[in-house]
């Protein structure tokens, strides 16, 4: 197949593009900056309908990963990239006669703040999702799945907490804060959390493309299927990355209040001209919530629907992280 992959400059997008190419597909990537990789590149903004139409022309399928994923930012930016970009790609895919579309989403689109223990993929809900990223991704998933038809088979894949060597989001932030002595454990650190090693996430997304005619119209959460207490998980990541594990704990109510205070300061800095904008807050209420509640998912339906199982265990992923060059940890 001829497949367009958006967001291939990121860790997961790059892994998806490479996996597709390894399996014999002709891959085109749409991204903002040249990556110098082996795939045909189209450079530009995923929210530009004209550029997107050019990129999608002649493609049999689209895998859409490009998104604004920052912790903070203006709603208009999330709306433009995550919602507008998805709409442009769906419209272009239909116009070009593509037959398959995989929307890479997030479990946060269905998370209203409560612990998730053995949960399935609930419906995306932009009204109840927490934060600009989750709300915009929820709206985007609804747009994508709303385009599912006999002509265009659409599957939404929600990989949970993807990580691996070279990850600047989850791993990079954990290690940076640990090395600076600013990484606490919230509460007892016993809430179970599942994650997804990057190889497994890429395999699942490619499986969704392969199985789109059978799995179309569904949203599927993807994880390693190995939940671990969050305090233990963070300590394991720190050790694998050569950073000291957390040495102090913060009660959850204190963390929530501190997060609210940081958000208030952020709002003031954004509203007052001349004040520096905070782009990497040390804590927010959403982050406090994520670090103190359970997040693990029943994977039986996902694995059956995709005919897929993870091939890299959590412990093997940690070994690979530890073996990676220091610049990739």
Sign of the C-alpha dihedral computed for residues 37, 39, 45 and 47 taken in this order: negative
- Cβ pair 85, 141 in contact under 8 A: no
Check 39, 64, 100, 133 and give the catalytic one. 133
User: Is 78 one of the catalytic residues?
Assistant: no
Residue 327: DSSP 8-state: G
Separation of CA 311 from chain center: 19
d(CA 249, CA 86): 40
**CA nearest neighbour of 288 among 267, 308, 312, 263:** 263
- Cβ pair 312, 199 in contact under 8 A: yes
Q: In the β-sheet with 2-6, what is the strand arrangement from edge to edge?
A: 40-43, 26-31, 2-6, 61-64, 100-104, 153-159, 219-222
Query: Hey, which bits of 50-193 come out as E strands?
Result: 61-64, 100-104, 116-119, 153-159, 162-163, 185-186, 192-193
Residue in the structure block whose two tokens are 């399928």: 61
Burial track 266-298 (b if 16+ CB lie within 10 A, e otherwise): beeeeeeeeeeebeeeebbbbbbbbbbbbbbbb
**What's the alpha-carbon Rg for the chain, to the nearest Å?**
19
Q: Which residues are catalytic?
A: 133
């Amino acid at each position: 197949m001829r497949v367009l992959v958006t967001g291939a400059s990121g860790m997961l997008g790059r892994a998806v593009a490479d996996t597709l190419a390894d399996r014999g597909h002709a891959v085109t990537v749409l991204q903002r900056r040249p990556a110098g990789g082996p795939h045909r590149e189209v450079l530009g903004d995923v929210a530009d309908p004209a550029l997107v139409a050019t990129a999608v022309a002649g493609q049999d399928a689209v895998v859409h990963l490009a998104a604004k994923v920052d912790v903070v930012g203006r709603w208009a930016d999330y709306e433009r990239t995550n919602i507008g970009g998805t709409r442009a790609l769906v419209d272009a895919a239909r116009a070009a006669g593509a037959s398959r579309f995989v929307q890479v989403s997030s479990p946060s689109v269905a998370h209203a703040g409560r612990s998730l223990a053995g949960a399935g993929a609930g419906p995306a809900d932009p009204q109840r999702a927490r934060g600009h990223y989750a709300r915009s991704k929820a709206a985007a998933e609804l747009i994508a799945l709303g385009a599912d038809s006999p002509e265009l088979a659409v599957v939404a894949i929600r990989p949970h907490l993807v990580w691996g060597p070279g990850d600047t989001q989850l791993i990079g932030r954990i290690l940076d804060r640990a090395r600076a002595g600013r990484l606490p454990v919230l509460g007892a650190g016993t809430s179970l959390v599942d994650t997804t090693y990057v190889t497994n996430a890429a395999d699942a997304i490619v499986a969704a493309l392969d199985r789109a005619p059978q799995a179309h119209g569904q949203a599927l959460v993807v994880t390693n299927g190995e939940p671990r207490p969050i305090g233990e998980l963070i300590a394991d990541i720190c050790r694998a990355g050569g950073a000291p594990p957390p040495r102090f704990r913060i009660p959850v109510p204190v963390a929530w209040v501190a997060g609210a205070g940081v958000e208030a300061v952020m709002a003031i800095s954004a509203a007052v001209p001349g004040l520096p904008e905070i782009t990497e807050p040390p804590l927010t209420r959403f982050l406090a919530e994520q670090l103190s509640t359970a997040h693990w998912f029943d994977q039986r339906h996902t694995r059956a629907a995709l005919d897929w199982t993870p091939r890299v265990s959590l412990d093997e992923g940690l070994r690979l992280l530890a073996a990676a060059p220091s610049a990739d940890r």
